Amino acid sequence: MGRKRKDLVDKSTPLILRVDNKTLFLLCEKLNIDFDSNAEAFDDDTKKEIILEIQEIVKKFVK
């Protein structure tokens, strides 16, 4: 038996996207996202903000 599974359209899918940092710097500058270009890596808050912005860009693109 078991529970009824959700339809695929009602789910979300995690995707892995590799983007070079030069492009991410340009994206951050364009979207006014604060980042430290001298750091060894992007901090978690900056990455979360970038991901949210990319999600919004994709949503707008497909509309």
Which pLDDT tens digit goes with each residue over 8-59? Answer: 999 999 999 999 999 999 999 999 999 999 999 999 999 999 999 999 999 9
Residue with tokens 């995707």: 15
Q: Is 31 among the domain residues?
A: yes
Q: Is 1 among the domain residues?
A: no
In the prediction, which pLDDT does 2 show? 85
Q: Is 11 among the domain residues?
A: no
In the prediction, which pLDDT does 35 show? 94
Neighbour-count burial for 28-54, b at 16+ CB within 10 Å, e otherwise: beeeebebeeeeeebeeebeebbeeeb
Domain of residue 30 covers: 18-62
Task: Answer yes or no: is pLDDT of 1 > 80.
Answer: no
Domain count, the chain: 1
Q: Is 47 among the domain residues?
A: yes
Q: Which two tokens stand for residue 30?
A: 């364009």
Q: Is 57 among the domain residues?
A: yes
